[in-house]
Structure 1
Amino acid sequence: MKFQKKPVVVDAYQTDKDMYIETLEGVMHASPGDWIITGVNGEKYPCKPDVFEKTYEPVSE
């Protein structure tokens, strides 16, 4: 079986410094340029810029 992600709008910002983020999987490191995403349940996690670009696009507010 194949599945497709549901369209979900998330909040995200790009960090300009090294930081550590508490995620559901534990503490993760984010490097400058990584995106910090807030998920649908308020959870935060880092995402590398190349993956973010392939996965997300801006929405009109």
Structure 2
Amino acid sequence: MARYRKKPVEIEARQLTPETVHDIKQWVGASARIHTDGVPLGAPVKLAIHTLEGVMLADFGDFIIQGVQGEFYPCREDIFRATYEAVTG
């Protein structure tokens, strides 16, 4: 069986928090909306993002990634931190 390594690619990402939700919604644009359907009153909202694979819901703490083709998608914080490192310089 062949083995493969992910190519080193720089991406832009922002972490979704109560303080950043509106800025991220503006950054993502028309493909994102605040999702409150079925969310209990007072519970954290979710951000619904239209991705290449369909609509995905992002929770606070998730990272929103802009991919190499300009697409947006959420990534859980633990997966993000295991996969990406900060670019310096």
Name the TM tier (shorter chain).
over 0.9
- Runs of 4+ with >6 A deviation: none
Higher helix fraction (1 or 2): 2
In structure 2, the residue matched to 1:31 is 59
Mapping for residues 1-61 of structure 1, pairs under 5 Å: 1-17=2-18, 18-61=46-89
TM-score by length of 1: 0.95
Report the residue type matching 1:4 in the other structure: R
Q: How many residues align?
A: 61
How far apart are the structure 2 equivalents of 1:4 and 1:12? Answer: 21
Structure 2, unaligned runs of 5 or more: 19-45
Residue 2 of structure 1 aligns to a residue whose secondary structure is coil
How far apart are the structure 2 equivalents of 1:60 and 1:38? Answer: 18
Higher strand fraction (1 or 2): 1
